[in-house]
């Protein structure tokens, strides 16, 4: 038998989690992006091998999507777009965050909440990236050479530009709307 627990986070709660994200990013200020990404990749690998509560396991895919967005050479993000993702990864890599990770059963609960919040806040970026992945996957698989390779690269560049423009337009429109 499973239980569903719903938690409503107020604006004050969300500000608290955002401060914790900023604190995590500031705490690893001496670490560069690659170090954070490497540490997060290690954490994901160890979590994949662990017997996890479902509420964590269900968010591993989201965490892997965030990592993929940062490391995909065909999907360069601006610093402002990379920042929240890196902050979330830094938070997940910190074993002494709001709830220390070594507390059995609940130690990763705050990490799951943080991943979920970041995933929701970056939904436009993630949607665009997933659309890009689908488009890239739809292109011919055979190795392209010469003009064929140039044509594929040009198609990818056009699609990436369209999706990134859509992503930024939606993000700007969302910020312009008053919050309820």
What would the two tokens of residue 34 be?
């690659």
pLDDT in tens, 39-72: 899 989 988 898 887 878 888 888 899 999 999 9
This prediction's pTM: 0.79
| Rounded distance between C-alpha atoms, residue 64 and residue 56, angstroms | 13
Mean pLDDT of 74-89: 86
In a shared domain, residues 107 and 162:
no
Enclosing domain of residue 170: 123-180
Q: Is the pLDDT of residue 176 over 80?
A: no
In a domain, 157, yes or no: yes
Q: Is the pLDDT of residue 105 over 80?
A: no
The pLDDT value recorded for residue 17 is: 83
Which of the four pLDDT bands, split at 50, 70 and 90, describes residue 162? very high
In a domain, 90, yes or no: yes
Q: Is the pLDDT of residue 180 over 60?
A: no
Cα 35–chain centre separation: 16
pLDDT in tens, 31-46: 788 888 998 999 899 8
In a domain, 2, yes or no: no
Could you give the number of structural domains in the chain?
2
In a shared domain, residues 64 and 133:
no
The pLDDT value recorded for residue 110 is: 83
| Rounded distance between C-alpha atoms, residue 25 and residue 157, angstroms | 31
In a domain, 27, yes or no: yes
Mean pLDDT of 5-30: 80
- Name the residue among 39, 63, 60, 38 with its Cα closest to residue 49: 60
In a shared domain, residues 92 and 136:
no
Mean pLDDT of 91-116: 80
């Amino acid at each position: 038998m499973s239980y569903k627990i719903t938690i409503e986070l107020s604006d004050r709660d969300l500000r608290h989690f955002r401060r914790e994200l900023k604190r995590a990013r500031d705490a690893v200020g001496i670490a560069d992006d690659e170090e954070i990404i490497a540490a997060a990749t290690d954490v994901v690998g160890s979590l994949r091998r662990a017997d996890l509560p479902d509420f964590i396991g269900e968010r591993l895919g989201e965490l892997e999507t965030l990592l993929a967005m940062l490391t995909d050479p065909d999907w360069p993000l601006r610093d402002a777009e990379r920042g929240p993702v890196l902050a979330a990864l830094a938070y997940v890599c910190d074993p002494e965050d709001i709830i220390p990770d070594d507390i059995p059963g609940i130690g990763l609960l705050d990490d799951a909440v943080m991943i979920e919040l970041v995933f929701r806040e970056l939904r436009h970026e993630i949607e665009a990236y997933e659309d890009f992945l689908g488009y890239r996957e739809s292109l011919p698989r055979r190795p392209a050479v010469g003009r064929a390779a140039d044509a594929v690269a040009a198609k990818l560049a056009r699609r990436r530009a369209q999706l990134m423009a859509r992503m930024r337009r939606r993000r700007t429109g969302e910020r312009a709307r008053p919050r309820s």
